[in-house]
Structure 1
Amino acid sequence: MGDPAELVGDLIFGRWRSQILHAGTRLGIFDALGDARRDAAAVAGELSLDPALTYRLMRALSAIGLLDEDGARSFAVTDAGRLLQSDHPESMRGMTLLEEGPEHYAIWTHLPDMIRDGRQNAFDREFGRHAFEHANTDEGYAQVFDAAMSSYSGLQTSLVLEALKDYDFSGVGSICDIGGGRGHMLCSIVAAHGHLKGMVLERPEVLDEPEKLWAASLGVADRVEFVPGDMFEAAPAADAYCMKMILHDWDDDECVSILQNAAAQAASGARLMVMEHVVPGPGEPHFAKLFDIHMMCWGTGRERTAEEYMAIMDRAGWEPVTTHYAANPMMGVVEGRLR
């Protein structure tokens, strides 16, 4: 594992790296550089920043591998830095602005107190409301949150599609994505299976900008319907249901309610696919074990093991089947069928 002091030092000062990353992204340095090599003073002038302090920030961004500095104080974006540009097809800019932004930075300060008193949801402690309610009242947070969800979606969808590449959809005519946002994942599944018709159930406010929905750009506008609604009230009838990064937002009873609403409308023998960062066994390092602490801060939810997701399915009337993984087990698809 290496030198223990070096390990602890890296953990202590890891916040410096992530905040340097956030500052460079928020100030627009990666976009300003584009594909060119530019002098730090020129970048500062374009962005109305202080030249001396901009150089020091860009030097630090170079030190963590996001920029490349030459001897004349000019910089170019590295391959890693390109992922922070807003026009990159796999951009992580939105993810950076959300996770290292002021709201999510603030909620982590409540972690020790939550552990002491056994009451999670630091968003409520800090802002007096749930994160979704905060997004409805704070336009800036809503925009950053929306962009971050798009950042996450590309990677998550690719892992889900790989995990399901050999899955037999031949008995499925219609599939509903519960809480499917603007439809990136559902439309990608429908595009890969020419016989499928899809529905995306999402809150009306998420669907109020039709130009941002994915169906047209992925070539499936004739086979995908966007349904405004509330997953805690009802779900459309379908042969299969999928949920990507939905159940981890909620506690067990809330998850059971969501799944019961789907079961009430599901066709006989309907299938269920819960797509999450599945927590592996003891001693195995995994992103889900860290993400679980973020969810403790962010709301009422949690990351779960496959067995825990299956127990929730069982309570809601679904028979657990198996879990599918891509080569990279960062995400899993926990499958169930209607009893």
Structure 2
Amino acid sequence: MNTSTETQQLTPSRIIETAMAFFASKTLLSAVKLGVFTTLSGKSLSGSEVQAALKLHDRGVYDFLDALVALGFLNREGLLETARYSNAPESDVFLDKNKPSYIGGFVEMANDRLYPFWGSLEEALLTGQPQNEIKQTGSSMFKELYAKPERLKQFIDAMSGISIGNFMALARKFDFSTYSTLCDIGGAAGILSVEVAKQHGNMSCTSADLPAVEPIAKDYIASKGMSGRVKTVNIDFFTDEFPKADIITMGMILHDWDLPNKKMLIRKAYDALPEGGAFIAIEALIDDDRRKNAFGLMMSLNMLIEFGVAFDFTGADFEKWTREAGFRRFEVIPLAGPSSAAIAYK
């Protein structure tokens, strides 16, 4: 039991901060959606200049911009009408749409899709049912995305934004020296394949995804001057066998599915690999004790909201499932932020 002294030392600050965290989240999401950081790229502007560029109403201009200052996303000199605003370093690098380092695609998708869907988390927890587009249309998330090219492009840009740091880290940290071919299953824009090929001249890479995705991947690969080193192939990973390769990768693919489908994909990866080949799953891997990686745990809640039966998993889970498929050796390599590469060797 708490003593009276211990009770007096407790404060509700962390509870309140977490309960109201959506204030900060929505402020940043709105800033990216409205183009604040792109507008301020390489320059400082007054509040009225930002207001005119973004067509903002008088009432919220300074509260909005100064909140972004307080949150560390903008810099400011002066105050109110005399203020000049500019991007903080991270904002300038990662949230300017005109820079190749832009990760705002994920932020835009979070604003347009995930933010409203998370308002139904209680319903998801009570029913186990998805809370995304399927509630309004009766169609699954992926069916909706692939039916609308602009939504598909937004989704792929979002996944690219959240994943590119992980793919760059994998290309640096994994020893590719004894391999020559890689196939990225569900490769989306082809970013993983491009990053590996750029850093390892011995590697020939293939990005495998559905036909609707191929034009997006080809454009990205060509823009990086990698068309000679990275190819695309059309595949439906539910119905088709995987192309043979020394390394099979999946970036945030396994967590989209229930356990039988996870095991099916793992088995297909095993069958596509030679002896000594490696299967690499890049995910927001939950720590085995399920205490530390809050992002991974909340990503698993996001899978509940998106798909109902889908879920994220631990390294121990991955080892168990891949061992059942026949893999012999396992390791986990930390990547960027809360993500890791879970690796199984045949």
Q: TM-score range by the shorter chain?
A: 0.7 to 0.9
CA RMSD of aligned residues (A): 2.4
1:242 matched residue in structure 2: 249
2:209 matched residue in structure 1: 202
Alignment of 1:228-307 (within 5 A): 228-233=234-239, 234-280=241-287, 281-299=289-307, 300-307=309-316
2:138 matched residue in structure 1: 128
Give, in whole Å, the separation in 1 of the partners of 2:335 and 2:275.
32
* AA in 2 matched with 1:224: V
Unpaired runs of 5+ in structure 1? Answer: none
Q: After the TM superposition, which of the residue ranges 197-206 and 146-155 deviates more from structure 2?
A: 146-155
Deviation per CA, 1:20-58, whole angstroms, max 9, x where unpaired? 111111111211122211112122222333244333321
Give, in whole Å, the separation in 2 of the partners of 1:30 and 1:267.
47
Displacement, 1:223? 2.7
* AA in 2 matched with 1:6: S
1:159 matched residue in structure 2: 169
Give, in whole Å, the separation in 2 of the partners of 1:3 and 1:90.
42
Deviation per CA, 1:280-335, whole angstroms, max 9, x where unpaired? 124334421222111221224211011211222234x3314122323767222222
Within the candidate set 306, 321, 326, 2:334 is matched to: 326
Q: Name the % identity.
A: 19
1:51–1:30 CA distance, 2 compared to 1 (3 A): farther
1:30 matched residue in structure 2: 37
Give, in whole Å, the separation in 1 of the partners of 2:149 and 2:244.
33
* AA in 1 matched with 2:56: L
> In the alignment, is the contact (CA less than 8 A) between 1:180 and 1:243 conserved in 2?
yes
* AA in 2 matched with 1:213: Y
> In the alignment, is the contact (CA less than 8 A) between 1:325 and 1:331 conserved in 2?
no
> In the alignment, is the contact (CA less than 8 A) between 2:29 and 2:108 conserved in 1?
yes
> In the alignment, is the contact (CA less than 8 A) between 1:95 and 1:149 conserved in 2?
yes
Unpaired runs of 5+ in structure 2? Answer: 1-8
Give, in whole Å, the separation in 2 of the partners of 1:86 and 1:318.
45
Give, in whole Å, the separation in 2 of the partners of 1:265 and 1:210.
22
Give, in whole Å, the separation in 1 of the partners of 2:114 and 2:224.
32
Give, in whole Å, the separation in 2 of the partners of 1:110 and 1:52.
30
Give, in whole Å, the separation in 1 of the partners of 2:47 and 2:150.
28
Displacement, 1:276? 1.5
2:24 matched residue in structure 1: 17
> In the alignment, is the contact (CA less than 8 A) between 2:37 and 2:96 conserved in 1?
yes
Within the candidate set 80, 94, 107, 1:96 is matched to: 107
> In the alignment, is the contact (CA less than 8 A) between 2:75 and 2:88 conserved in 1?
yes
Task: Tell me the TM-score normalized by structure 2.
Answer: 0.86
- Helix, strand or coil for the counterpart of 1:283? coil
Within the candidate set 302, 306, 322, 1:313 is matched to: 322
1:17–1:231 CA distance, 2 compared to 1 (3 A): same
Give, in whole Å, the separation in 2 of the partners of 1:252 and 1:232.
14
Task: Tell me the TM-score normalized by structure 1.
Answer: 0.88
- Helix, strand or coil for the counterpart of 2:215? coil
- Helix, strand or coil for the counterpart of 2:302? helix
